[in-house]
Amino acid sequence: MSKHQLLQHEKIVVATKNAGKVREFAHALQKLGKETLSLHDYPQIPDIVEDGDTFAANARIKAKTTGDTLGVPVLADDSGLRVTALNGAPGVYSARFAGEHASDGDNNEKLIRELKRLHEQGSLPELGSLDDGSQLLSEAQFVCALALYDPATGLFIEAEGTVDGVITDKPHGDGGFGYDPLFWVPRLNRGMAELTKEEKQQISHRGEALRVLLPQLEQA
Ligand SMILES: O=c1nc[nH]c2c1ncn2[C@H]1C[C@H](O)[C@@H](COP(=O)(O)OP(=O)(O)OP(=O)(O)O)O1
Ligand SMILES: [Mg+2]
């Protein structure tokens, strides 16, 4: 058995335009001595339509579109938030929750608004509050699907990771990206956006997916 083609490259292409994801991949892959490139380095690649029904399907779409265009192995991440009180929404629509070109701030505002509305209607269980008085609005889970695609063989290697938390009505911390400021991690009694890159990697959905994926490349 030999190593996967990806590991023959000094620079690893991650098919994302999300700067927060790029920082996290760069942090993780640097430990393997690899430099991380992203779609910011390849502006010629057209916008990728993420029309899969699952995180895994979308990760495969991003990896294949980019890998077939560049002719090198490509890693892709599709991820998002499943909120229990919203029956798993926004899920694969997490990036577009507040609209097609929504910012993280827009999405976070909408999430708090929707959950507060359901609480005011009395249709959700009371989950209590934190020491600083902020309310716990709903249990939630981050999910990350990774797909690695090699255009030379047409083969995919895939992995998934999750992390459980609770959505709060006020932000905690200014690290991370996306929904991190609203994602409380009960296990650590801290907010996801209060963690360092290294701490987030140790517990996050993306960190877990990478820990499942990377060993598979040693004997692919
Ligand atoms: O660790 C995370 N911490 C906080 N929020 C997160 C995380 N991971 C995903 N998320 C949120 C951000 C975005 O609202 C959606 C991902 O959407 P997703 O389509 O996979 O990424 P994206 O559109 O930002 O970039 P791209 O598709 O180019 O990779 O879930
Ligand atoms: Mg996207």
Active site residues: 78
What range does the domain containing 24 cover?
5-217
Binding region for substrate: 16-21, 79, 177-180, 200, 205-206
Among 92, 89, 84, 16, which Cα is nearest to 48's? Answer: 16
Q: Which residues pair with 13 in a beta bridge?
A: 37, 74
Tell me what pLDDT residue 220 has. Answer: 79
Would you say residue 24 has pLDDT above 70? yes
SS3 at position 197: helix
Q: Domains in the chain: how many in total?
A: 1
- The CATH number given to whatever domain includes residue 111 is 3.90.950.10
Q: Which atom of ligand 1 is nearest to the CA of 176?
A: 3
Q: What DSSP string runs through 203-216? A: HSHHHHHHHHHHHH
68-77 tens-digit pLDDT: 999 999 999 9
- Please work out, in degrees rounded to the nearest 5, the angle formed at the alpha carbon of residue 195 by the alpha carbons of 21 and 29: 40
Mean pLDDT on 21-40: 98
Which H/E stretch holds residue 148?
Answer: strand 136-150
- pLDDT score recorded for residue 30: 98
CA distance 38 to 63: 11
How does pLDDT run across 132-170, given as a tens digit for each residue? 999 999 999 999 999 999 999 999 999 999 999 999 999
The whole-number average pLDDT for the span 177-192 is 98
pLDDT over 70, % of the chain: 100
pTM tops 0.90, yes or no:
yes
pLDDT in tens, 45-75: 999 999 999 999 999 999 999 999 999 999 9
Angle at 21 between CA 17 and CA 25, to 5 degrees: 115
Residue nearest to atom 26 of ligand 1 (CA): 16
Contacts of 186 by beta carbon, 8 Å cutoff, 6+ apart:
164, 165, 166
Q: How far, in Å, is the centroid of ligand 1 from the Cα of 177?
A: 8
Report the C-alpha gap between 104 and 94 in whole angstroms: 10
Closest ligand 1 atom to 104 CA: 14
| Mean pLDDT of the chain, nearest integer | 97
Residue pair 147/75 in contact (Cβ under 8 Å)? The answer is yes
Say what the ipTM of the complex is: 0.99
- pLDDT for the residue numbered 1: 64
